[in-house]
Amino acid sequence: MTTLFKRSLIGLALAGSTALPALAEDISWIYCGDRIDGVHEKYIAEWNTANPDFQVKPELVGWAQCQDKATTLAAAGSPVGLAYVGSRTLKEFALNELIVPVPMTEEEKAAYYPHIVDTVTFQDNQWGVPVAFSTKALYWNKDLFKAAGLDPETPPKTWAEEIEFAKIIKEKTGTPGYGLSAKTMDNTMHQFLHWIYTNNGKVIDAEDNIVLDSPENLAALQAYKDITPYSVEGATAYEQNEMRAIFLDGKVGMLQASAGTATRLAETDINWGVTTLPLGPSATGPGTLLITDSLVVFAGTGVEEKATEFAKYITSPDIQIQYEMSPDAGLTPLRPRPEVEELVKNTPFWKPYIDGIEYGGPEPLFTDYKGLQNVMIEMVQSVVTGAAEPQAALTKAAEALEEYK
């Protein structure tokens, strides 16, 4: 662990707590949120009954603080057994020896949809167990399509069509055709990564080479520039949830968003549709950014083996699918299952979220995720505001990322 990294995290830990938890045979679990999901509550109880010497004890911590708390305790030498973290942080945790590997068998890997295991893999090992998963799809307002003279039942299939449809909607109705988010928020990077993964692009390869400055990614950034005039004015003022609110108000033609948007749309009078994300010229099939959160096992607790066993138990296929199907979860399923087939049959809006997985890609793993995030946001904002041309912005960002890989 680097001295600066450890010292800064210890300072955060000591500033926020006067007493650190004592190590015990219990498996402490920092559980993000304001309540324990009913499925998890049930199976934690079953685990504890079957393992009286290794009791799992979840501690509820709000979403804004949970990852920081787990990290600072680990850096201070008083780690919890396991915690729920964004998979984007796994490389940083692994290199600083805060977590232990959670290797998967070939059978375990094969049970997931394609590329999901990549979201937790670094140096040919897995460093977490996926516990939550999200993808994106494209929503369109059929009434605005009709008002603009477009076929309301035919959404765009390519970037070129998406840009053209956005232009027509803006010119014919005066309503923005597309909801582009470019606020200084992590989801600005996420939104752009969806475009990268719908054109067969990458940010960093398996050998840790920065490959951002590529023809595929240049095309994505150029498409951002091209669609900006037909998007909501002042995109840098909006993050994705704020842009979703505009779409839900019927004031934008198209939007890429999560599955939870469909539930909200059902409560409106909007005539809408949802489809896979439009494809760039180099795409080989439907794509999307694959975002996972994971359960990680911290080093130095003395219960690493049992914590690993529990992490795999609580995310095992039969339990995980129950968690994903919880009414309030809104999660894209991690594995193909009969229950998923039934879900798509009974709730058709889920189909594009599943279809986009095959050619999707993971959040890039960097040693400094916030450094990556800031570079990507600056790149997007510079193009959206007209401060830089796409090629110059892409080259500058690629050079800056060398510091954070």
CA distance 374 to 194: 17
Decide if pLDDT at 294 tops 60.
yes
Residue range 106-126: mean pLDDT, rounded: 95
Indicate the average pLDDT of the chain: 92
Query: Residue range 352-368: average pLDDT?
Result: 95
Split at pLDDT 50, 70, 90, the class of 9 is very low
Query: What is the rounded distance in angstroms from the CA atom of residue 304 to the CA atom of residue 132?
Result: 22
Asked if residues 303 and 25 have their Cβ atoms less than 8 Å apart, the reply is: yes
For residues 292-302, average pLDDT: 96
Cα angle 202, 204, 208 (rounded to 5 degrees) comes to 155
Q: Where are the beta strands (DSSP E) in 198-271?
A: 254-257
φ/ψ of 108, rounded to 5, equals -65, -45
* H-state helical runs in 266-385: 304-314, 317-324, 338-346, 351-355, 369-384
Is pLDDT at 269 greater than 60 in this prediction? yes
Which option is the CATH number for 26-133+292-350: 3.40.190.10, 3.90.960.10, 1.20.970.10, 2.60.40.10? Answer: 3.40.190.10
Segments of the chain assigned to CATH 3.40.190.10: 26-133+292-350, 137-287+366-402
381: confidence class by pLDDT, cuts 50, 70, 90 = very high
For residue 151, name the pLDDT band (cuts at 50, 70, 90): very high
SS (H, E, C) 376-399: HHHHHHHHHCCCCCHHHHHHHHHH
pLDDT value at residue 330? 80
Burial of 234 (0-12, 13-18, 19+ CB in 10 A): exposed
Distance separating alpha carbons of residues 366 and 219, to the nearest angstrom: 23
CA separation for the pair 253, 300 (Å, rounded): 52
Question: Are 230 and 169 spatial neighbours (Cβ–Cβ below 8 Å)?
Answer: yes
Q: Does domain 137-287+366-402 have CATH number 3.40.190.10?
A: yes
The pLDDT value given to residue 6: 44
pLDDT reported for residue 179: 97
- Does position 10 have pLDDT exceeding 60, yes or no? no
d(CA 265, CA 260): 9
Residue with tokens 């594995």: 335
pLDDT at 20: 43
Mean pLDDT throughout 158-165?
Answer: 98
pLDDT-based confidence at residue 326 (cuts at 50, 70, 90): confident
Using a 10 angstrom Cβ sphere, with 0-12 exposed, 13-18 middle and 19 or more buried, the burial of residue 358 is: middle
pLDDT value at residue 166: 98
Share of the chain above pLDDT 90, in %: 90
Characterise 233 by phi-psi region: left (phi > 0), alpha (psi -120 to 50), beta (else): beta
Report the C-alpha gap between 384 and 399 in whole angstroms: 20
27-32 and 56-61: which strand pairing?
parallel
